[in-house]
Amino acid sequence: MTLIDILTAVVLVLISALVIFLIVYLGKITRSVQALQKDISKITDRLEPLLSSLSELTIKLSDLGDQAKRQLEITKGMVFSVKERIEKILELEGKIRAGIEGPIMGVVNQFKAISNGVSTFLSYLKK
């Protein structure tokens, strides 16, 4: 046996050991990938109901937002209507005041004139 034969035998033994080592680690990697697949499958199974619930929640929140918008528009309409009515009432009040103030002031001025006349008459009588 020559040195080349011995080295060839050693290289073959080392290559065989390396192949066995790679087979063992390839088995471990395969088991790890399978475990990862199982975990992903479990997560997927748990996420499906969650996503469904989130979808329903999104729809309900969208409906709630739409209802709130409609109620807000109704409220705005009511506030605008009340504002218009109050403005009309204030305008009517102003017209009533303007219509009554003139005649009342005339009557008040006449009473003042009568009062002045009576007081002048009484002061003339006292003399």
Q: According to the model, what pLDDT value does residue 64 have?
A: 96
Q: What is the pTM of this model?
A: 0.47
Confidence band of 118 (pLDDT split at 50, 70, 90) = confident
- Provide the residue ranges of all domains of the chain, joining segments of one domain with +: 1-127
pLDDT at 81 over 90: yes
Q: According to the model, what pLDDT value does residue 94 have?
A: 84
Give the closest residue to 15 by CA, choosing from 27, 7, 5, 3.
Answer: 7
Sequence-distant (6+) residues with CB within 8 A of 105 are none
> Residue 104, Cα to own-chain centre: how many angstroms?
57
| Alpha carbon distance 49, 121 (integer Å) | 103
